[in-house]
Structure 1
Amino acid sequence: MAVKPQQIHRIVAAITARAVHDTALVALDGRAGAGKTTLATILAEHLGGPQRATVIHGDDYLLPRSLPERLAMDTVAGYAGYFDWPRLRDHVLMPLSGRPPADRASRPATVGTVPRGKIVIVEGVQTARPELAAYYDLRFFVDTSADLCLRRLHDRGRTPEWEAWITRWRAVEEYYLTTTHLHTRVDLTVHDGYLTDPTPPLRTT
């Protein structure tokens, strides 16, 4: 993917402007296949690499359910039960924001210790959900068309099981986006065109 440097620089500038003592918590939310992981990796590199920026993946906080269990859950149940957002809150967001976990008996995060004094980018679907939004210094919506996201998901596989999971996941995803009005709750929106479009991809919402 050919990312235009001037566009990435604008996003990096928005993040560093919110950082206090080189520390900031950033959320990259959006549909599966929107390009969040790719964008997070690129931003971390431009923010100084591992010495200054850490990327946390929301997928590491999905609850360990079998595919049949996930498919048996309806849209509302899936929204409530796929993502272990309390663990992300208690193990990452609260400690880095200077507040103790809600459950003081919580153990350290299983995905590793996140050091203070860094810019931490948390990417993934539901990472900026209403229960978590206030912990971030900056919230991004990676706004990629549903059709393009679907094509990218199909590129990852076309087995019957994968197709069934895509269908269920996208229903939960749309429920989240529409009922929580993500596009109105974020600080900035990054359109999918940031990869190829010469027009500025960043806008305040």
Structure 2
Amino acid sequence: MAGKFFLIDTTRCMACRGCQVACKQWNKLPATKTKQYGTYQNPPDLDGNTYRVVRFEEHPSKENSVAWYFFTEACRHCLKPPCKIKADQIKKGAIIVNDFGAVLFTKGTKELQKSFKVIKQACPWSIPTWSSKQRKLVKCHMCFQRVEAGLEPACTKTCPTGALNFGDEAQIKKLANERLTAAKKKFGGRGEILDLEDVRALYLVIDEQIKYRPVA
């Protein structure tokens, strides 16, 4: 396994969207034109110009008020990427996994335009999307150029609260266990790390996953 991992501690996320803006800035991506549709989440979803989005969900709380759930979403960089398995059936080598585990689309992905929907559907979270401007599949690429230069991804570098963290597997999993213990103590025993054995982006949540993001 080894390689690099993220820890997303949702108990520390205040939905500032700094990670979302930093991602756009580093990748030189324009804003997505949107309209008011009844939520603070903007844009509505990941798209060709948005590789990371902060989801805003609200649900009734026990105190007869509203509870906010914030969830910064991007590619999980699966240990066994379903998107790669599907893409290899269409064009071998269109998706690669680099030395530290980043799942990357190659320049040749423009050849997958007619098949990109089946690759998107192969992802459990429907992350990959087609960029009509770049004419290729796009998503979070773990800021691999920054990581190769000894820097951390733009999103984790920007996060002001420690909600987003990045590092080597042992370091991140140790931090995840520490944060989980603290969360359970603070929130009455609630808390879990999602998909711990399957992905490189580990999410710490204190409630049902469906409350943080809509079903794909």
**Normalising by structure 2, what TM-score?**
0.28
Higher relative contact order (CA 8 A, sep 6+): 1
Structure with the higher fraction of residues in strand conformation: 2
**Normalising by structure 1, what TM-score?**
0.29
